[in-house]
Chain A
């Protein structure tokens, strides 16, 4: 059974108004499948009855539940891999140099869903040899969806979730078992701060060095994309970096951004931003594997950014780095078993 045209219009107006999300005609099945569990949960027979209930009297909590149920929260650790490689192999070294006076770094995950994106960023930072403990780092993670934010704060992921996109070395370094799930360790959780934020409304957050605004603009209509990009641009520091999702761009929406290639991925910067100090080549291997060539994060003397990145690049299809996942551990008897 599909919902009536009236109910569909009501839900799509609600989404447009409260999340700026566009629900194109023909998506009736989506409304059905996403709202049915909610209808059942509160003891109603079908989605029609759920919509009728909200139409009959204002109910902020119910309205919020409906909007949240309609958002797409699909995500994974190190999603698409390349942006995270660019972040740790090129952008972090560049910003470390530029921010050596303040030793502060602010990163924003602007549609963080259940937390995999901000924790991927945080793991990359914690693992980075240039990010010594005297740095003040904050990863601000925001989303419209309160329920997702609550999941993200729990930092608990199922076996299926950690199988996806997360290098196993990162799993053993940055997670601990919680019954059959895995939980992000406090050292990583500690640099992430969560906050509810609607990108479609004015927001007040600090200036950011790097912004991940990935796989969320696609849900907005062009005029909303323009507004959101403009607000995001004001938050981005003059020499900062913006990442969008693979199907998203600023082109034709905001001409004050320019595209830059970082390795094999695209980032966006303010037009005329100081040039970045780009390593000659980035490793295609994932962050965790790439880190095998980096010295132990605990070591006091980090390598120069260039040398670290070259070291990674030279091992583009590395033979087994025996013992490398232990480089971040304090157990030297294990980490010294490496083949080097």
Chain B
């Protein structure tokens, strides 16, 4: 699942994920992503932007982590937020990994491998 309010960014990330063999569902903000999950989507991994309208990425991570049934979803922030304290906040909330924009496609693949979501 690719969650980002920028359609250009969704396009880029969607393309990268598809090239790595994933089926991709998109959402423009945290609230819509939650709606998708509630209607039964069960992604292996969610790539989550931070700054989005309606519900931001951090709130999304918190919401997902409150639900036992979503525990298996791996959460990776993909954001321009680059302050150490922000990264720490996202991890404390339950994000597994964190990619700071700008990134290369390799960086996404590398992180997925680190997470064991993608074979090396």
A residues lining the B interface (CB < 8 Å): 76, 78, 80-82, 159-160, 162-165, 167-169, 171-172, 176-177, 180, 284-286, 288-289, 316-317, 319-320, 322-326, 334, 337
Docked pose: A160 CA to B95 CA in angstroms: 20
B residues lining the A interface (CB < 8 Å): 65, 71-72, 74-75, 82-84, 87-88, 91-100, 102-104, 106-107, 110-111, 113-116, 120
Cross-interface CB contact of A316 among B104, B116, B120, cutoff 8 Å:
B116
Looking at the assembled complex, report how far the CB atom of A231 sits from the nearest CB atom of chain B, in whole angstroms.
Answer: 31
Is A176 a contact of B91 with CB atoms below 8 Å? Answer: no
Is A164 a contact of B92 with CB atoms below 8 Å? Answer: no
Is B65 a contact of A322 with CB atoms below 8 Å? Answer: yes
| Chain A residues, Cβ within 8 Å of B115 | 285-286, 289
28 contacts between A and B (CB under 8 A): A76-B110, A78-B114, A80-B120, A81-B113, A81-B114, A160-B102, A160-B103, A160-B107, A165-B110, A167-B114, A168-B91, A172-B91, A176-B84, A180-B82, A284-B116, A285-B116, A286-B115, A289-B96, A289-B114, A289-B115, A317-B116, A319-B71, A320-B65, A320-B74, A320-B95, A322-B65, A324-B91, A337-B92
Closest to B82 in A: A159
Is A163 a contact of B99 with CB atoms below 8 Å? Answer: yes
Closest to B107 in A: A163
Closest to A334 in B: B92
Closest to B106 in A: A164
- Interface residues of chain B: helix, strand, loop or mixed (majority): mixed
What 9 A-B pairs have minimum CB-CB distances, sorted nearest first? A163-B107, A168-B98, A286-B114, A320-B94, A319-B71, A322-B94, A325-B91, A285-B116, A164-B110
Is B92 a contact of A81 with CB atoms below 8 Å? Answer: no
Cross-interface CB contact of A168 among B92, B93, B97, B102, cutoff 8 Å:
B97
Is B96 a contact of A288 with CB atoms below 8 Å? Answer: no
Cross-interface CB contact of B120 among A82, A167, A288, cutoff 8 Å:
A82
Closest to B92 in A: A323
Given contacts A81-B120, A284-B116, contact A320 B71 (CB under 8 A): yes
Given contacts A80-B120, A160-B103, contact A320 B96 (CB under 8 A): yes
Docked pose: A163 CA to B77 CA in angstroms: 12
Is A319 a contact of B72 with CB atoms below 8 Å? Answer: yes
Q: Quick one: which of B91, B92, B97, B120 has the most chain A CB within 10 A?
A: B91
Closest to A264 in B: B120
Is B100 a contact of A320 with CB atoms below 8 Å? Answer: no
| Chain B residues, Cβ within 8 Å of A320 | 65, 71, 74-75, 94-96
Docked pose: A82 CA to B120 CA in angstroms: 9
Docked pose: A156 CA to B46 CA in angstroms: 30
| Chain B residues, Cβ within 8 Å of A160 | 102-104, 107
Cross-interface CB contact of A326 among B72, B84, B92, cutoff 8 Å:
B92
Known: A289-B96, A317-B116, A320-B65; 10 extra A-B contacts, CB below 8 A, are A81-B120, A160-B102, A163-B107, A168-B91, A285-B114, A285-B115, A320-B74, A323-B91, A323-B92, A334-B92
Docked pose: A169 CA to B87 CA in angstroms: 9
Cross-interface CB contact of B100 among A159, A167, A285, A322, cutoff 8 Å:
A159
Is A168 a contact of B87 with CB atoms below 8 Å? Answer: yes
